[in-house]
Structure 1
């Protein structure tokens, strides 16, 4: 799995640098507790794109998609308009 994570992050780098993907990471069942690993239940990503299809095309090329890490039957893409935000 460590190799998949490395491949996934390396492949995403150009899309992050171009501004296509703004942020992403694992969604969790609960906050991570000291001494325990995260209880991952999915992934969340924010993309800047013209269409759902453009996002889906990027996701289909990802190793998490092609290797079955992501449950593609549950994949959801929502249009989103930010009302507030702060710098990270």
Structure 2
């Protein structure tokens, strides 16, 4: 029987658009971002995430990254925001926090490509 004081984790769909003109900064700090997000993924706090594009790239073109999208897990919206505010993309001004969107989410299916 579960303890009544046990924490309840919830999924959140998070859309984090990049600030205008932040692509160069994003690419510069991307290795640090990926290094720090992997332990969060391993801990089940970010079971899905990646960059979204402004358009599909033509063959031979670099993708035009426009922001990040993820499923984040936490007890509350505030807990997830606190986790994301520690990310290098926040610290270096890549994500546009005035445009961030978050919704409670319930995964039905999840399968890697």
Q: So what's the TM-score if we normalise by structure 1?
A: 0.87
The alignment of Structure 1 onto Structure 2 pairs a total of residues equal to 87
Secondary structure in structure 2 of the residue aligned to 1:33: coil
Q: 1:18 aligns with which of 40, 43, 55?
A: 43
Structure with the higher fraction of residues in strand conformation: 2
Secondary structure in structure 2 of the residue aligned to 1:72: coil
Gaps of 5+ in 1: none
Root-mean-square deviation (CA), in Å?
A: 1.4
Gaps of 5+ in 2: 1-24
The structure, 1 or 2, with the larger RCO (C-alpha pairs under 8 Å, 6+ apart) is: 2
Structure with the higher fraction of residues in helix conformation: 1
Deviation at 1:3, TM superposition (A): 4.2
Misfit runs of 4+, over 6 Å: none
Q: So what's the TM-score if we normalise by structure 2?
A: 0.70
